[in-house]
Structure 1
Amino acid sequence: MFQLDYEVEEQLILRDFLARKDISKTTLTAIKYQGGDILVNGHAQNVRYILRPGDQVTVVFPPEQMSEGLKPELGPLSVLYEDKTILLLDKPAGQSTIPSRNHPSGTLANFVCGKFEEEGILSTAHIVTRLDTDTSGVICVAKNRHIHHLLSKQMNEQLFHRRYTAFAEGHINTPLIRIEQPIDRKEGSIIERKVSAEGQYAKTDVTLLGNYVNDVQAFSVVELKLHTGRTHQIRVHMQWLGHPLVGDDLYGASSHQFARQALHCSSISFLHPLTKERMIFDSPLPSDMKYYLKQSKTVEIRSM
């Protein structure tokens, strides 16, 4: 069972102390009714208890049930880092992050739950950063709903950073482009998105890394930084820019040159939810993107 231990430094009501530790009301409710506990110096106390300097507070989180419809399965996982709170994985292209109607099994979440079950971890797959099926790269998983809450809060506070490497059709000649265009669902589709004034605010920074050409097309290699996390945000913003991702036939590119959208989450950075240490996890370009780059030659970037 997952627990956290704290030392009290000043006189404070237990409820206020827990709030300072970012333990949400939802989590407190789960602790109260689903088998958790709050201990002060080893004894159960209610949230109105007055703490004194030197007291030891232990929060015992209740065991979690696997999410409904998420069947644990044993399968390969490329682990970049793991401790009692987080799991960083390198997802291959072609694997879905969570189950869907088209991919009910074999997803990364299925395999995470299988790993947890095999290791006796009483939790479910809390996916902090989700990637499209055909997008490769780093994914962050929380091992507890409280840890998921802390990492989500970092996202809202712009402390959680994600960087992507992509190939975009055509040549881009501007070193840095900031795209702030709202994104909405496209009419008649449950999958496709579009830039729309009625949509949700979305912000992406695009940094040009180089221009290339091969036997079939000209393309640019770009690094993208997400400031928001809308569905298909990078793909939609690059289409709006006039440079859809190589292989992304859903958003106007041809899939004849590349079998998927050429998009890879190359880096994730955040503060560890407990130690507050800045952590960075990187993933090198996958083999298909490396090969495509190897078959191409650089082109001098024209100044604007």
Structure 2
Amino acid sequence: MKLKFKIEQDQSLRDFIAEHDISDKLLSAVKTNGDMRVNGIHVTIRYLLRKNDVLEIIFPQEKRGKQLSPSKMELDIIYEDEYLLVVNKPAMMPCIPDHRYHDQTLANGLIAYYEAIGLDSTIHFVNRLDRETSGLLIVAKYRYIHYLLSKEHIERKYVALAYGHVVDQTIDLPIGRINKNVRREILPIGKPSVTHCHVLKQDENFSVVECQLETGRTHQIRVHLSAVGHPLIGDRLYGDIKNLADTYFLHSYQLSFVHPITKQTLRFAKERKIDETYFCNM
């Protein structure tokens, strides 16, 4: 990746780098395997920038993990530029490879896409979804973009199918886990976790709930709704309400964030119909 800046005032290159949130570790990588150029000429960090100079920062090539082999698949990419993309992940697809899922993950599909478009980089998920959860994900194409986005607030809204008669509420309960258990718990020593719930539709046995996250804990919506007595229908880890789908409905349908380079506010929405198999099997 290469960034280009037109300098607006005299200042040291070191100060300019600090203002643009390039860490010492990343700066060291740029010095070793990248480059810094002013008006096309290599410079060091001690250089004094002058107004109207053109600065180029060339970041080192990204390295891929060995598990990220390309696996061609259909991807629903709803936005892309040279720095990031937004993709709509289907349900029942893992984000990254592990000991159970080796190459049929979203990351493997994205690597195949990168190779098809000639992008020599790796995968940086800014937000991540459970295998069963569908919806919108932000993928930074470079480590620096991922770092910038990780420091910004990303507005995320989900639609969930919960058991029972949910009411509009804010659930503010700390979430943690015991040892290395996959299951998360409401724990006094857990991390602060806040979910805003708004009921969109309901019947005697279910509620369709919009959930807006203030925090992004693992399994947050699943844990919070279960904690107030309304687990996701079909979620075997946090409830016992079965359905024909044998899994739960949770969809990340809306994202909003400020682009780390252009500073424009980007908003995306992707609806998904709730199939009847997700409802109670009672």
Which TM class, normalised by the smaller chain length? over 0.9
The count of residues paired between Structure 1 and Structure 2 equals 280
CA pair 102-255 structure 1, distance change in 2 beyond 3 A: farther
User: How far apart are the structure 1 equivalents of 2:62 and 2:108?
Assistant: 16
The one-letter amino acid paired with 2:164 is G
Contact 1:31/1:37 (<8 A) preserved:
yes
Which residue number corresponds to residue 302 of structure 1?
A: none
2:167 is the counterpart of 1:168: no
2:219 is the counterpart of 1:232: yes
For residues 7-156 of structure 1, what are the structure 2 equivalents within 5 Å?
7-33=6-32, 35-154=33-152
**Deviations, residues 93-144 of structure 1 (Å, cap 9, x unaligned):** 0100111111121000011111112322111011111100000001110011
Contact 1:4/1:59 (<8 A) preserved:
yes
For residues 215-294 of structure 1, what are the structure 2 equivalents within 5 Å?
218-286=205-273, 289-291=274-276
Within the candidate set 194, 205, 208, 2:196 is matched to 205
2:170 is the counterpart of 1:178: yes
5+ residue gaps, structure 1, are 297-304
Instruction: Give the secondary-structure state (helix, strand or coil) at the position aligned to 1:250.
Output: coil
The one-letter amino acid paired with 1:267 is Q
Which residue number corresponds to residue 185 of structure 2?
A: 194
Instruction: Give the secondary-structure state (helix, strand or coil) at the position aligned to 1:206.
Output: strand
The two structures have a TM-score, normalised by structure 1, of: 0.88
User: How far apart are the structure 2 equivalents of 1:255 and 1:133?
Assistant: 18
Contact 1:169/1:219 (<8 A) preserved:
yes
User: How far apart are the structure 1 equivalents of 2:182 and 2:74?
Assistant: 27
Contact 2:163/2:241 (<8 A) preserved:
no
Contact 1:181/1:202 (<8 A) preserved:
yes
Cα shift at 1:292? 5.7
RMSD in angstroms over aligned alpha carbons? 1.7
The two structures have a TM-score, normalised by structure 2, of: 0.94
User: How far apart are the structure 1 equivalents of 2:242 and 2:96?
Assistant: 24
Instruction: Give the secondary-structure state (helix, strand or coil) at the position aligned to 2:203.
Output: strand
**Deviations, residues 222-269 of structure 1 (Å, cap 9, x unaligned):** 111111111111100111111001111110132334431210000111
User: How far apart are the structure 2 equivalents of 1:126 and 1:67?
Assistant: 12
Instruction: Give the secondary-structure state (helix, strand or coil) at the position aligned to 1:115.
Output: helix
Contact 1:163/1:225 (<8 A) preserved:
yes
Which residue number corresponds to residue 4 of structure 2?
A: 5
Worse-matched range after superposition: 202-211 or 80-89? 202-211
Contact 1:246/1:257 (<8 A) preserved:
no
Aligned-residue identity in percent: 40
Instruction: Give the secondary-structure state (helix, strand or coil) at the position aligned to 1:5.
Output: strand
Contact 1:183/1:196 (<8 A) preserved:
yes
Contact 1:267/1:283 (<8 A) preserved:
yes
The one-letter amino acid paired with 2:251 is H
5+ residue gaps, structure 2, are none
Contact 1:246/1:258 (<8 A) preserved:
no
**Deviations, residues 34-65 of structure 1 (Å, cap 9, x unaligned):** x2111111111111111111111111111111
The one-letter amino acid paired with 2:9 is E
User: How far apart are the structure 2 equivalents of 1:88 and 1:202?
Assistant: 25
Contact 2:9/2:51 (<8 A) preserved:
yes
User: How far apart are the structure 2 equivalents of 1:7 and 1:290?
Assistant: 52
User: How far apart are the structure 2 equivalents of 1:192 and 1:205?
Assistant: 22
